[in-house]
Amino acid sequence: MAEEILRTEGLCKRFGSLEVLRGVSISVFRQEIVSVIGPSGSGKSTFLRCLNWLERPTSGQIMLAGQDIASLSGAQLRAARRGMGVVFQGYNLLMQKTVAENVAFPLRLEKGYDRAAVQARVAELLAIVGLEDRAGAYPAQLSGGQKQRVAIARALATQPEMLLCDEPTSALDPLTTKSMLALLTDINKKLGVTIIIITHELSVVQAICSHVAVISEGRLAESGAVADVFGSPRSAVTKLLLGREE
Ligand code: ADP
Ligand code: MG
């Protein structure tokens, strides 16, 4: 039986009177690639921000390897967050810094990384994402796909066991999307990183995910193995996303 790396239980988030998440419970097992899919505005990005504790849930729990995030001390919480790399929608790169400086950024706060160690680690990360030759470039000089690769390298800097990606391909053309998905699969297989992909694109889920959770209006509509959920969808929203409205 695979080991559970992350679980949410009845996760709720409201902003004032707006209930964005209304009790989302999902499980993610180690080394899977899972996706959270749903229409625009259904609460996907909010869900991802809650997982990383950038947003405090109003109620419900997030369990990391069986431990409730809310119960962690400050130091434990920082360690837990280092274990979850985040790739935000729109990349969030520092535009005045080079590719190498962007990737090095999370290492500034790490113990044991002197100048030489940072340089070595940055070279390693740029090789993983195939950008060895762009270390000195600035984000404005890069294509969308390349910027996304820098964001992925930066998210992997602290050797997280989990990578959370918010709409990693929604701004990319089909060919670049394909190579991005190949990269994520590679990272999953070679580095053993568990990946959670937030997307509204069915093709992304079908291409690389083993499991899918479908969210609609802040609620979990259904979840399971991709072949089961897409093969015989039970919820109206899944049928809608599949274009199989009956
Ligand atoms: P998705 O990523 O699925 O498109 P979001 O999680 O971004 O959905 O947003 C869900 C809803 O929550 C939207 O109505 C959005 O306006 C609202 N929302 C998200 N963040 C905030 C916030 N910080 N304050 C108020 N409302 C927010
Ligand atoms: Mg979003």
How are beta strands 162-166 and 84-87 bridged, if at all?
parallel
Does residue 220 register a pLDDT over 80? yes
Around ion ligand 2, residues with a beta carbon closer than 5 Å are 44-45
Q: Quick one: which atom of ligand 1 is closest to the CA of 42?
A: 3
Predicted pLDDT of residue 1: 62
Q: What is the mean pLDDT of the chain?
A: 95
Q: Is the CB of 15 under 6 A from ligand 1?
A: yes
- Over residues 15-70, the pLDDT tens digits come to 999 999 999 999 999 999 999 999 999 999 999 999 999 999 999 999 998 899 99
Report the C-alpha gap between 38 and 219 in whole angstroms.
10
Predicted pLDDT of residue 110: 86
34 φ, ψ to 5°? -120, 160
Q: Mind giving me the DSSP string for 165-191?
A: EESTTTTS-HHHHHHHHHHHHHHHHHH
Q: Is the CB of 43 under 6 A from ligand 1?
A: yes
Report the C-alpha gap between 187 and 124 in whole angstroms.
13
**Å from CA of 195 to ligand 2 middle:** 17
Least confident of 157-166, 211-220, 236-245: 236-245
**Å from CA of 146 to ligand 2 middle:** 21
Q: Quick one: which atom of ligand 1 is closest to the CA of 48?
A: 6
Q: Is the CB of 45 under 6 A from ligand 1?
A: yes
Q: Is the CB of 38 under 6 A from ligand 1?
A: yes
Banded model confidence at residue 74, pLDDT cuts 50, 70, 90: very high
pTM for this one? 0.95
What are the strands of the beta sheet with 67-68, ordered from one edge? Answer: 18-29, 4-15, 59-64, 67-68
Task: Residue 44: name the closest of 206, 242, 197 by CA.
Answer: 197
Q: In the beta sheet, which residues pair with residue 61?
A: 9
Residue nearest atom 21 in ligand 1 by C-alpha distance: 15
* Farthest CA pair distance, the chain: 61
For residue 41, the ligand closest to its alpha carbon is 1
**Amino acid symbol at 159:** Q
Mean pLDDT across 100-110: 93
